[in-house]
Amino acid sequence: MRVLFCTSKLPGAAIIRAVTWSDWSHVAIIDGEEVIEATWPAVRVVPLADVLAKHSSFVVADIPCQDPAAVIAAASSQIGKPYDLTALFGMLARRDWQEADAWFCSELVAWAFQQGGSPLFRPEALYRVTPQHLWMIAK
């Protein structure tokens, strides 16, 4: 499964990188020429080219999974759900930050892999996944 890791020079990206100890501020699932991403204001599908144009640095990595279509279907089922701004505060407080009805980019990716039958993390860790955690397992 192809996963996009990216960052920009915007202040919000710098804050996310600092809080998550990562070179990356954003992750998204690549589906052909589109990505499924959790970003302000909601989970959405956008052209890959549009996402790349907004970021100053990016890498496409392969993360093994048994059923890419199931991962994409799981992520797609969340389209329209809001972005989880409170996740940044949860990261600073070192608590589980997942809101039941909102997504931070990395937790959406980890959850979609779990729902698609290719868990990347223990179930209790799903709601504390940062871009750096996903980067460490990317091939």
- 99-119 per-position pLDDT tens digit: 668 899 999 999 999 999 999
Cβ distance 45 to 34 under 8 Å?
yes
The percentage of the chain sitting over the pLDDT mark of 70, rounded to a whole number, equals 89
Task: Look at residue 70 and tell me whether its pLDDT is greater than 90.
Answer: yes
Range of the domain at 47: 2-137
Cis, peptide link before residue 41, omega less than 30° from 0: yes
At 71-100, the pLDDT tens digits run 999 999 999 999 987 766 655 555 555 666
If pLDDT is split at 50, 70 and 90, which confidence band does 126 have?
confident
Q: How many domains does the chain have?
A: 1
pTM given for the model: 0.91
CATH number at residue 106: 3.90.1720.10
